[in-house]
Amino acid sequence: MTRLRPLFVGPAGLRHGWRFVIFAAAIILAFQFVEGPAVLFFAVKFHLDANALTAQLLVLSEIVGFLIVLIVTGAAALLERRRIDGYGLPVNRRFGRVFWDGAVVGLLTIIFVGLAMLAAGGMQVHGLALHGQEFITSPIFWLVGMLLVGVSEEYLFRGYALQSLWRAAGFWPAALITSGLFAGAHLTKPHENAIDIGMIFVVGVVLCLSVQVTGSLWWAVGWHATFDFGQFFIIGTRNGGQLPVGRLFDTTFAGAAWINGGELGTEASYFMIPAALAIFIYVQFFLARRASPLQSHLTLRDA
């Protein structure tokens, strides 16, 4: 047993690779046995269609999911004697310049993909899909829902998970592993294909790089929120065959799947390839010059 101890315990206690394994196991169990039943319970309570792609259901599911991530991350933070916002979401930097930079880039990304799909004949706009009070309520619900998606998913995959693996094996192995898990989590969607999963993986790596460059998750949260807001609310793209309820435009997608992503929507469009390359170049060569480096970034490598 003494010989095996160094495999599990280092100078700082339990090795960070094992901390990641425990965190991942706790998250998987909580999402499997808590998140699904809780969302279904509240969906019935609030008379929401659990099978439709609506902003209201998204807000509900992301609140439940984020609470799970907070609780599990909070337990890890308690054991490591760190603040719960010490894994990439510093409260004092909330919705600051870095967040808005990411939000602008995310919106420009989806605008480029949408216009390219439109120009190539893969998307047709027939007018507005909202009426009356929906012009106020629908964008608010979708915006709140997408902000929750950005915060929840980024903190789940690029919060404690990224940092623990970063300490254990270095940045790039951590980025590749967490991005693989990020892409793998989307395999449950119907009609999934290689281009969609590949683009989600690439985007995940770029978002990890933004954490290294800016020192927080806030750029990634901003990008994630506005990109999803653009594709679901503004474009109204399909997601696993479902059309978003309460989208801004009445759109149809009659062109080739390589143009509009088919049943999977914009993330599976081939126009995402140049978009992802442009985001990578921006983060690596331009955002790095504009953002102040993370002071605790160096301690991640040394811990």
DSSP assignment of 126-186 equals EEE---TTHHHHHHHHHHHHHHHHHHHHHHHHHTHHHHHHHHHH-HHHHHHHHHHHHHHGG
What are 263's two structure tokens? 């049943």
> Any residues with CB less than 8 A from the CB of 52 and at least 6 apart, and which?
242, 245
* Cα three-residue angle 107-109-114, rounded to 5 degrees: 95
CB atoms within 10 A of CB 152: 23
* Model pLDDT, residue 301: 40
Give the residue, 236 or 292, on which the prediction is more confident.
236
Average pLDDT over residues 26-49: 94
Half-sphere CA count of 95, side-chain side, radius 13 A? 2
Looking at every residue in the chain, the average pLDDT score rounds to 91
pLDDT band at 255; cut points 50, 70, 90: confident
Instruction: Provide the percentage of residues in the chain whose pLDDT is more than 90.
Output: 82
Q: pLDDT by residue (tens digit) across 42-92?
A: 999 999 999 999 999 999 999 999 999 999 999 999 999 999 999 999 998
Least confident of 1-10, 110-119, 135-144, 267-276: 1-10
Residue 29 has pLDDT above 80, yes or no: yes
Q: pLDDT by residue (tens digit) across 15-28?
A: 888 999 999 999 99
Which DSSP letter does residue 191 get? Answer: T
Give the residue, 247 or 93, on which the prediction is more confident.
247
* Model pLDDT, residue 300: 45
Burial 184-219 (b: 16+ CB within 10 A, else e): eebeebebbeebbbbbbbbbbbbbbbbbbbbbbbbb
pTM score: 0.92
Residue 296 has pLDDT above 50, yes or no: no
Which DSSP letter does residue 188 get? Answer: G
What are 71's two structure tokens? 């609780």
Instruction: Provide the percentage of residues in the chain whose pLDDT is more than 70.
Output: 92
What are 148's two structure tokens? 């929750």
- Taking alpha carbons only, the member of 54, 43, 248, 242 closest to residue 134 is 248
Euclidean distance between CA atoms 212 and 296, whole angstroms: 10
Q: Check: CB of residue 266 under 8 Å from CB of residue 113.
A: yes
Which DSSP letter does residue 90 get? Answer: -
> Any residues with CB less than 8 A from the CB of 31 and at least 6 apart, and which?
65, 68
The H or E element containing residue 22 is helix 16-30
3-state secondary structure of 60: helix
Q: Check: CB of residue 106 under 8 Å from CB of residue 227.
A: yes
Euclidean distance between CA atoms 71 and 74, whole angstroms: 5
